[in-house]
Structure 1
Amino acid sequence: MNITFPQQAPVYLSDEPALTFWALADGERVPCTVSAEALEDHFGATSWREEDLQRAFEDSRAVIEGAAEQLLTSVGRRPVMLRSGYFRFSDGAPMQGVAS
């Protein structure tokens, strides 16, 4: 499967709270969501406010997109949700030295 990520700002979901970004999997748009908790626990978000989540996402975009790519490879072209536990327990997630 060919997976790419458009360089757009993610969309803030206030009811979750989380950020949703898009992957293109074999040309099909697939929503990927990363929870505020994951951004705070593993990527240095200082609060769950939109601007803090956006900053943490942009600072760690490559790692977050890499995790989404791993999940998309496993589940196919279905939406994925990246929660804190995924980064805590996934192999190769670069959490050493990341401020929380």
Structure 2
Amino acid sequence: MNISFPEGPVEYDTQEFALTFVALADSVPVDCAITAEALEDRFGAKSLREPDLRLAFHRNRAAIEAAAARLIEETDGKPVTLHSGYLRFYGTSRH
């Protein structure tokens, strides 16, 4: 599966407390998200405030996209949400 992450908006989902972004899996859009908790726990966001979450996301975008790509492959191209537990299991942490 060919997975890429086009430049595009990263949105804050206030209902799910997550940042959302899009991947392309074999040219098909796949919705991705990372929880605020994961950004705080695994990537050093200073708080759950949107600016702090965005800063942690952008500083660690490569590691977050790598984890999302792995999960997209594992789920055969289904939408994915990265949680702290998944990231901890695969050893993903701040860089």
Q: TM-score if structure 2 supplies the norm length?
A: 0.93
| Structure 1 residue aligned with 2:53 | 53
Question: Aligned partners of 1:8 and 1:60: how far apart in 2?
Answer: 16
Task: Report the Cα offset of residue 49 of structure 1.
Answer: 1.1
Gaps of 5+ in 1: none
Q: Does 1:34 align with 2:34?
A: yes
SS in 1 for 2:23: strand
Task: Report the Cα offset of residue 42 of structure 1.
Answer: 0.8
- 1:10-46 per-residue CA deviation (whole Å, 9 max, x = no partner) reads 1100111000110000111100110000000011111
| Cα RMSD (Å) | 1.4
State the one-letter code of the partner of 1:47: S
Question: Aligned partners of 2:16 and 2:89: how far apart in 1?
Answer: 22
Q: Does 1:74 align with 2:59?
A: no
Task: Give the number of equivalent residue pairs.
Answer: 95
Q: TM-score if structure 1 supplies the norm length?
A: 0.89
